Structure 1
């Protein structure tokens, strides 16, 4: 990217989390039960923090919370309308970034575990509701980049085996936001059946806040590890010089 200037104020990191409802007939004993092609399943909605990295990453929590945008099925006429709203949010961020960088830089989708769930689900929902055709879905989503904290955080944990595996959300929270723990996403099914919309909204907003907090903490760890690496290289270089005397 050295051949052009990154305009940090025109970059966008999109922290997001989606919630789903799975009826009892579609629930699996193990694994991820929601399927975007199962008409009995439902996209409840989600929350989005479309962050300007020049201004929003280091904001106080109360200001970050105010910048979170949410879209919900109970506020839409149909699931297609809900999916369209999500598409519009992503497209708006895409336009800002592409216009400022002549299409050479992408908005970043960020979350925990989103590469194996939320991102794939959005692709299929765009197809299912014909927001875009198959070729259009590929072209649109290929204009984004993804930072999944479940993968990024791997290097922040000790490991004595030659096997890397994405970290689960609660492991990341224990390390970076001790005392915070979220119940399984399946708990939302009961809340939805009870029409406890307020608690669903609160939960998803809190998840966005936690993802934002962990993102900042991982950045700090990366900088600290890089500083230690530089210091170690200087120490080794000095040691070699002293041994050569």
Structure 2
């Protein structure tokens, strides 16, 4: 795939640059990901992967270039407009889930929908449906009592609840054992393709990166395309 669909890519990054003092972390970064397509970004610690994710989410303002999410340029958006656009079009899965441990899986997932403006009844119904699809027990127990894999699948469900155009995953399997890693990766890549999300996975794990349609490496502040089966 070349990252461009009939209506253009869901995520389009052009000439992205970010520098802190005299250190350039990103320089001329280009990346396009279409609906239903997945891209992995690899690179050593300190290479700029977290900075790139921050720019894609609109949490970091780049020094130059553009980031278009679902057709809209986000780097110049005002804060409230950006927050609404992010809530509607972007879902994020973090390495440690970032769930509220005292809430149940349903409450954690529904909360994202409630914050996005969905009514309570619909939010909870949709949360139960997605958790069921991802085989997460959504009984009324604290999320802290779930297994690591169940917590990460809950985090995936939360990222999907608002039907995002772009799904970002930051080391989503980094804290899991091998067997659990594989099951969570299976879910992540499958749901992105099935739901037509543009998926970007930042990972140190070559096995996870190898599942993506395309793989990129941050090397010397630039994004370089690699073949699959990276090492």
TM-score of Structure 1 vs Structure 2, range by shorter chain: under 0.3
TM-score calculated relative to the size of structure 2: 0.28
Greater strand share, structure number: 2
Pick the structure with greater CA Rg: 1
TM-score calculated relative to the size of structure 1: 0.27
Greater helix share, structure number: 1
Larger relative CO (CA 8 A, sep 6+): 1 or 2?
A: 2
